[in-house]
Chains A and B, each alone.
Chain A
Amino acid sequence: MTVSKADRQRFSTITSKVRDRVPLDLEDGVFLYHYPDLLALGSLANEVREDRHGDKTFFNINFHINPTNVCVANCRFCSFARLEPGMPNAYTMSLEEIRGKLVERKDQPVTEIHIVSGLHHDQPFEWYLDTLRVLKKEKPSIHLKAFTAVEIHYFSEKYGMTYAEVLKALMEAGLGSMPGGGAEIFHPRARKKLCDDKATAEQWLEVHRTAHNLGLRTNCTMLYGTIETIEERVDHMLRLRALQDETGGFQTFIPLAFHPDGNAMAKLPGPTGVDDLRTYAVGRLMMNNIDHIKAYWVMIGIKTAQIAQSFGVDDIDGTVQEEKIYHMAGADTPQALTRNNLVRLIREAGRTAVERDTLYNVLWEDDGEKLPGTRVEHASMPFSSHKLPVLQ
């Protein structure tokens, strides 16, 4: 690694901007992405992270329900969606099945359910409302983080309602907040290639704007590692930052690493460790107005997630009890981390684990007590996409 003097100076200028809380611009972000000294970049992101959160790393005990994988959209990076009902592996859950998912975990200290679906052709809007109602009825204290902006946009078109009408109805049925999925990459060049037939960047942002105005907190994401350029990644971050300046409704930015198995883009190599860490670090530095940066360990692996805590990440997506979307794309990570394993993972990296609820209220803070019976049973990382010719 050789860093030119000019680059060192530029980095130092950016460091000063960061410390003076001056927002970074597109050129700054692109420069940081390419800056050869990974550790200097990480160190700067860590400074911001520690400034905001000290040694705290948040986690949340939740589980996922994906009520259907039938989907009208045909995103090239997706291995989850089955386009038509009746196609192999296509499914749609009954309300009883959905309720069953919660009943199975009734005794577990789950505080949140994360609900994301395909864009189903002909389920009535009532089915979505009932999904929320049935869960709320089963456990009134549960927080429902549900429906991406892409789904909200789809409901609005399909059922002839405004975004606000859709959201209000869902809120009445029990919606507590919205996940940040479906953002993918906003830039029209990449978006056209990736997912031409779903909500546009403007529509996605408008849904979140509406949600924020209705008092909903939401998250935001970025899918990286497909065909997008570094400029397009930074551009994406800037668009999110602009909306955040306007509404302040985003809680967390979650970069999502592309998984190349079982989808139309399986030939791409996928992002790698250094790319993951750079993305978190640049994300932390660009998003000066978003509180949290979250690593979703299901995608990048437990080990990279642990290191990411030093590259700007202050939140590790919690004990995911059931997860379908990424495992169909070949994620080779354990299906669920136990709470103790997660705490250990955080502790070993010199951080203090903090259990939060969806809205970042602190529920528990690690006091360093001994953790019995914990062991990462299968601590491998997602890499099944790169298979070697088998020699026997």
Chain B
Amino acid sequence: MTTLKLWAVQFLNARPLYAPLETMKPVGDDGEPLFEIHEALPSACAAALESGEADLALLPVGAYAQMPELEVVPELAIAARGAVETVVVIGHCPLEEATEILLDGASRTSVALLKVLLHAKGLSPALTPTPHGEGAPAVTGTTCALVIGDAAFGLGEQFPHVTDLSSAWFQLTGLPMVFAFWAAKPGVLTDAHVKALQAAKVRGLKFAEQHAQTYRRSVLAEGREALSTNAYANYLRKTIRFDFDSYEREGLVEFLTRAHACGAVTIPGLAEGDTVHVHFKGARYEVAEQARASTQPLNVETILAKGATGERLSFAEGLYLYDNADLFALGEAADARRQALHPEGVVTYIIDRNVNYTNVCTARCQFCNFYRPPGKEGGYVLSREVLAQKFRETEALGGVQILLQGGLNPELGIEWYEDFFRWTKANFDLRMHALSPTEIIHIAHLEDLPVREVLTRLRTAGLDSLPGGGAEMLHDDIRNRISPFKNSTDEWIEVMKVAHELGIKTTCTMVFGFQETAEHALVHMDRLRETQDLALSRGVDGTLPQGRFTAFIVWPFQAAGTSLRLRDDTSAWRYLRMQALARLYLDNIPNIQVSWPTLGPEIGEVALRFGANDFGSVMIEENVVSQAGAHFMLTAEQIEHHIRHAGFTPSRRNMQYDRLSA
């Protein structure tokens, strides 16, 4: 275990992140300390990382932009959702009227933020570097000053005009502002380091009062005026956000994108049209590590025989099948398992309509062809009239459900969804299979509400079940690469767990083809299986609990036209293998749906012999994968034709997998 040279900023808002390390003194397996701590100014932290003097530092975002190859510690940041109090422009006139702004010893980050905001407002006052501490006294007329850090505390009362830049950023984008985070030289971080840093934060916040008091004393000792201990503690507890979840990630990429676009920072190697990429340190998965360490001899036939009878496969066995089982052997075992679970020879399908209510999205996933960033041309939110027409058509075609999914639109609050569900339930006889975990998390962030409350309110308004979209590959190594600004694996799983607890049925999905390994795919399946175990454990006296996964759907990534520069290494062959493996590994999920919209109905038919028992949806409308090159449309008659051709009896169903009379 290496001792990392850690450089931290002395500001008040950084203390909860690193000060506990001084008392906790975490050590590695070998008894060596994990960290050797240095305190410095933000600019010095950045310079130390750059020169190699530091292994790990609390890095301001402005400095990070110059070193995008660094690895970012997940879940920890210094950020604010709205006002931050310590990055302000003060003056005798409003910011809009300023002719000159003195940059009071300001950091690259605050200057970049100021430039982004000025650019957005179409302002161009002169920006004059000024030594630290000389800015505020020189404010006069239309000359304002940018003051940052602890020096900004309490300035609000001394000047008639104070613009909190973080607040202005939030007004502009609806997103949090990330100021700094832990960044390390690539490859030096271990799981122990990450865990120790995360533990330090938890402890640091617990002792916010002490940090506040220590800080207050140091200010008084320097003969300066200080705020109350309570004010400083509130600053740490409420103003600053030390979490770094997907909402902050969105804010971060929005900031870097805008700052690069207006020249406030230059991100090396970022070509026109590229998206900003942040390398997060991936989480470790114990189950995978144990499997790797396992020396148990394995045999394909034995594992397949186990799987075919529904016996639980270990992670190592799943991996072994992925790597070694023959296509037919895998298919035969999956088919036997499907036959045992669904002995009547029936393959179900549903008539529903996929409605994408908005394409405005802040997540910027590299694999998506559908979204438009907020404020860009081509964004839409469907009107009630359009929705009503789509719903009426769906009913007329015998549809029983709307699969409602959309972008992460910062304009749509929870009330929009509540009104929408109530309106739907009042006017239509359609079930609402609506909002993937990604959208639920987005609404929770937007409203600053717990996921549980969001789900409870939406269900009360009329949401019936949750589709399992947004899972892609539930492994942070992959997610950090392809969709770093979207929910993490844990966040996704958490929504599903809460939904199940509340008695909401959900489905789950997997998209492969992101150059993942067998281990990534198995971690994905393992997380789903574990989540379903938990849901099923709530069943009383052998009955199934309401809240659970009803079905699993896997499909290959559709690369064409997306900005993800992956060669398309997905294929029908891998799809059949992956689905068959899922049928065996996901022993507690009853239904597997083929994904004919991405593979075509021919492979859909064949897939019914590789573990699937459902042909999915007639899919009256679909906009997302069709933007990435898949164009298939089927009528109920055609779906039934394909099901019969594969040797099964077709039957219509609803989302609960209850059979319906046609």
B352 → chain A, closest Cβ, in Å?
13
A43–B567 Cα distance when bound, in Å, is: 30
When the two chains form their complex, are residues B331 and A272 in contact, meaning their CB atoms are under 8 A apart? Answer: no
In the assembled complex, B430 has its CB within 8 A of some CB on chain A: no
Looking at A43, A273, A391, the one whose CB has the most chain B CB atoms below 10 A away is: A273
A391 to B633, CA, bound (A): 12
**Contact code string A293-327 (vs B, CB < 8 Å = 1, else 0):** 00000001111101101100000000000000000
Among B289-297, B302-310, B602-610, the one that faces the other chain is B602-610
With known contacts A275-B645, A376-B560, A307–B573 Cβ distance under 8 A: yes
Q: Is the CB of B328 within 8 A of A387?
A: no
Which residues of A pack against B, CB within 8 Å? 1-2, 36, 38-40, 42-43, 46, 269, 272-277, 300-304, 306-307, 309-310, 332, 344-345, 348-350, 371, 373-381, 383, 386-388, 391
Q: Is B97 an interface residue (CB 8 A)?
A: no
Could you write out 28 A-B pairs with CB less than 8 Å apart?
A1-B609, A43-B328, A272-B642, A273-B600, A273-B605, A273-B645, A274-B606, A275-B645, A303-B602, A303-B603, A304-B602, A307-B572, A307-B576, A307-B606, A309-B573, A332-B631, A344-B569, A345-B571, A349-B571, A350-B573, A371-B567, A374-B567, A375-B567, A376-B560, A377-B629, A381-B632, A386-B633, A386-B634
> Chain B nearest CB: distance from A44 CB in Å?
10
Is B606 touching A391 in the complex (CB atoms < 8 A)?
A: no
Chain B residues with CB below 8 A from A304, complex form: 572, 600, 602-603, 606
| B335 in complex: contacting residue of A1, A302, A373, A388, CB < 8 Å | A1
Closest Cβ of chain A to B38, distance in Å, is 44
Q: Judging by beta carbons under 8 Å apart, are A380 and B630 in contact?
A: yes
The list of the 8 closest CB pairs from A to B, nearest first, reads: A273-B602, A381-B600, A303-B572, A388-B633, A273-B605, A349-B573, A43-B328, A348-B571
Q: Within residues 601 to 638 of chain B, which ones have a CB less than 8 A from any CB in chain A?
A: 601-606, 609, 620-621, 629-635, 638
A391–B620 CB distance below 8 A: yes
A349 and B569 CA atoms in complex are apart in Å by 11
B331-355 residues with Cβ-Cβ distance < 8 A to A are 331-332, 335, 339, 345
B residues near A350, Cβ cutoff 8 Å:
327, 573
Which chain A residues lie closer than 8 Å to B571 at the CB level?
A: 303, 306, 345, 348-349
Asked whether, in the complex, the Cβ of A303 is within 8 Å of the Cβ of B635, the reply is no
A274 touches B605 (CB 8 A): yes
Inter-subunit contact A272/B621 (CB<8 Å): no
Total number of B residues with any Cβ neighbor in A under 8 Å: 45
Chain A residues near B574 (CB, 8 Å)?
Answer: 348
Select the residue from B332, B606, B609, B645 with max chain A CB neighbours within 10 A.
Answer: B606
- Whether B154 is near chain A, meaning CB under 8 Å from some CB there, is no
User: Is B141 an interface residue when CB atoms closer than 8 A count as contact?
Assistant: no
User: For residue A386, which residues in chain B have a CB less than 8 angstroms away from its CB?
Assistant: 601, 633-635, 638
Contact B609–A381 (Cβ < 8 Å): no
How far is the CB of A299 from the nearest CB of chain B, in Å?
A: 11
Does A307 lie within 8 Å of B603, measured CB to CB?
yes
B225 on the interface (CB 8 Å rule)? no
Chain B residues whose C-beta falls within 8 Å of the C-beta of A387 in the assembled complex: 633
Q: Assess whether A348 is in contact with B606, with CB atoms less than 8 Å apart.
A: no
Residue of A nearest to B566 (CB): A375
Residues of A close to B393: CB separation below 8 A: 391
Is residue B647 within 8 Å, beta carbon to beta carbon, of the partner chain?
yes
Q: What CA separation (Å) do A348 and B633 show in the bound complex?
A: 27
Q: How far is the CA of A90 from the CA of B544 in the complex (A)?
A: 65
Taking CB as reference atom, which chain B residue is nearest A372? B567
Query: Which B residues lie within 8 Å of A272 (CB)?
Result: 601-602, 605, 641-642, 645
Q: A147 CB to closest chain B CB, in angstroms?
A: 31
A-side contacts of B335, CB under 8 Å: 1, 39
Report if B646 contacts A (CB, 8 A). Answer: yes
Pairwise interchain contact A273-B603, C-beta atoms closer than 8 A: yes
User: Is B415 at the interface (CB under 8 A from chain A)?
Assistant: no
B568 at the interface (CB under 8 A from A): yes
Instruction: Report B-chain residues with C-beta under 8 Å of the C-beta of A277.
Output: 606
Which residue numbers of B lie inside 8 Å of A, CB to CB? 327-328, 331-332, 335, 339, 345, 390, 393, 558-560, 566-569, 571-574, 576, 599-606, 609, 620-621, 629-635, 638, 641-642, 645-647
In the bound complex, residues from chain A placing their C-beta under 8 Å from that of B572 are 302-304, 306-307
Other-chain residue from A42, A348, A388 in contact with B569 (beta carbon distance below 8 A): A348
The reply to whether B345 and A2 form a contact with Cβ atoms under 8 Å apart is yes
Which residue on chain B has the smallest CB distance to residue A377? B560
Bound-state CA distance A192–B645 (Å) is 26
Majority SS at the chain A contact face:
loop
Query: What CA separation (Å) do A234 and B642 show in the bound complex?
Result: 23
Minimal Cβ-Cβ distance residue in B for A340: B567
Task: Pick the residue among B339, B573, B629, B634 that contacts A379 (CB under 8 A).
Answer: B629
Residue of A nearest to B606 (CB): A273
In the complex, what residues of A have CB within 8 A of residue B601's CB?
272-273, 383, 386
* CB <8 Å contact, B599 and A303: yes
| With A303-B602, A388-B633 already in contact, 11 other A-B pairs whose C-beta atoms are closer than 8 Å | A38-B647, A269-B638, A275-B645, A301-B602, A307-B576, A371-B567, A374-B567, A380-B630, A381-B600, A387-B633, A388-B634
Could you say which of B339, B560, B609, B633 contacts A38, with CB atoms under 8 Å apart?
Answer: B609
B647:A1 contact, CB within 8 angstroms: yes
**How close is A209's CB to chain B, nearest CB, in angstroms?**
35
Residues of B contacting A374 in the complex (Cβ-Cβ under 8 angstroms): 567
B632 contacts A380, CB within 8 Å? yes
Shortest C-beta distance, B386 to chain A (Å), equals 10
Q: Determine whether the beta carbon of A300 is less than 8 Å from that of B647.
A: no
Quick check: B631 and A36 within 8 Å, CB to CB?
no
Residues of A close to B600: CB separation below 8 A:
273, 301, 303-304, 380-381, 383
Q: Which residues of B contact A46 (CB under 8 A)?
A: 328
Cβ of A306 and Cβ of B568 under 8 Å apart? Answer: no
Minimum Cβ distance to chain A for residue B646 (Å): 5
A272 to B643, CA, bound (A): 10
CB-based contact B603/A42 at 8 Å: no
List chain A residues, Cβ under 8 A from B631: 332, 380
A379 touches B328 (CB 8 A): no
Nearest B residue to A302 via CB reads B572
**Residues of chain A contacted by B568 (CB below 8 angstroms):** 375-376, 379
Q: Are A39 and B603 in contact (CB under 8 A)?
A: no
Q: How far is the CA of A273 from the CA of B602 in the complex (A)?
A: 4
Cβ-closest chain B residue relative to A387: B633
Knowing A379-B560, A383-B600, A386-B633, the reply to whether A42 touches B573 (Cβ < 8 A) is: no
Closest to B630 in A: A380
On chain A, the residues within 8 Å of B602 by CB distance are: 272-274, 276, 300-301, 303-304, 381, 383
A261 → B minimal CB distance (Å): 14
CB nearest neighbor in A for B620: A391
Residues A40 and B641 in contact, CB atoms below 8 Å apart = no
Cβ-defined contact, A1 with B345, below 8 A: yes
- Chain B residues with CB under 8 Å of A39's CB are 328, 331-332, 335, 609
**Which residues of B have CB within 8 Å of A302?**
572
| Nearest CB of A to B528, in Å | 25
Name which of B566, B567, B646, B647 has the most chain A CB atoms within 10 A of its CB. Answer: B567
A2, A275, A301, A383 pick with most chain B CB within 10 angstroms: A383
Residue of B nearest to A269 (CB): B641
State the Cβ distance, A115 to closest chain B Cβ, in Å: 29
Docked Cα-Cα span, A332 to B328, in Å, equals: 28
Q: How far is the CB of B487 from chain A (nearest CB, A)?
A: 28
In the bound complex, do residue B604 and residue A273 qualify as a contact, i.e. CB atoms below 8 Å apart? yes
Docked complex Cα distance between A301 and B601 (Å): 11
Query: Considering residues B573, B599, B603, B642, which has the most beta carbons from chain A within 10 angstroms of its beta carbon?
Result: B573
Q: How far is the CB of A354 from chain B (nearest CB, A)?
A: 18
In angstroms, Cα B561 to Cα A375, docked, is: 11
CB-nearest residue of chain A to B567: A375
Given that A272-B605, A349-B573 are contacting pairs, would A391 and B621 also be in contact in the complex, using a CB cutoff of 8 Å?
yes
Contacts of B609 on A, CB cut-off 8 Å?
Answer: 1, 38-39, 274
Q: Which residues of B contact A376 (CB under 8 A)?
A: 559-560, 568
The CB with the most chain B CB atoms within 10 A, among A38, A277, A309, is that of A38
